[in-house]
Structure 1
Amino acid sequence: MANVRVSRTEDGFVATNDRGASVQIGDSAGEGVFTPVELLLAAVGGCNIVTVEPLTAQRGHRLVRLEMTVSAEKIKPNKLGDVTITYDVELPSAEADEVFRAVAHRVHDKYCTVSTSLQEGTKVVLELP
């Protein structure tokens, strides 16, 4: 089970995982913080990229550069439209391009827990004390 604790601090909010890593959360006016929507986009990107990189390398193709931009527009005050992942890669060969594309599609369609959960509409349950 994955757990993250979100707590109010003097400066806003912080999310901390069980391993002690943390990230500052705030609104769009806050400097040095992620908004909750940005964290969601980072989760989509992170899930995809940390899976694509080793799978591509295991197939013998270490990408020269691997980056991505993940974006979405709010279509309602409380709803995002489509989330778009745009890779920015430098490939060492045409064969690496073919492998990278196949891996990126497979990861997006099957192996990224975050993308799959969003696409399938994972239920969020509220528990109050």
Structure 2
Amino acid sequence: MASVNVERTDSGYEARNGRGAVVAIGSGDEEGAFTPVELLLAAVGGCNIVSVEPLTAQRGHRLVRLAMTVEAEKAEPNLLGTVTITYDVELPEGDEKADEVFRAVAHRVHEKYCTVSRTLQEGVEVALEIPE
């Protein structure tokens, strides 16, 4: 099971995982804080990139640069439209197959292995529990 704790602090809001990592959350006006939507986009990008990089390298093609931008416009005031991942890749010089391998891996990860992307694509229930 995946789990994070999100709470109000003296300086705003933060999310903390069981390993002690902390991310500041805000409404968009605070320095050094992510909005909840930005965290969702970061989760999509992070899930894809942490799978694509090692799988490409395991196939013998270590990319010189691997980065991405993840964007979404609001379809409604409280609903995102299409989430778009745009890769920024620098291929190793002289490696003729690197592009082909990278593209195949990136598509496979997006379609089958990235839990975050797949969850958004399939849709998932978000249950609310308020203890008595």
Question: TM range, normalised to the smaller chain?
Answer: over 0.9
Distance 1:60 1:94 in 2: 12
Structure 1 runs of 4+ aligned residues shifted over 6 Å read none
Residue in structure 1 matched with residue 127 of structure 2 by the alignment: 125
Residue in structure 1 matched with residue 17 of structure 2 by the alignment: 17
Count, aligned residues? 129
What is the TM-score when the length of structure 2 is the normalising length?
0.96
Query: Percent identity between the aligned chains?
Result: 74
Distance 1:106 1:94 in 2: 20
Which runs of structure 2 are paired with 1:1-129 in the superposition (5 Å)?
A: 1-92=1-92, 93-129=95-131
Distance 1:50 1:35 in 2: 22
Structure 2's unaligned 5+ residue stretches are none
Distance 2:125 2:102 in 1: 32
What is the TM-score when the length of structure 1 is the normalising length?
0.98
Structure 1's unaligned 5+ residue stretches are none
CA RMSD of aligned residues (A): 0.6
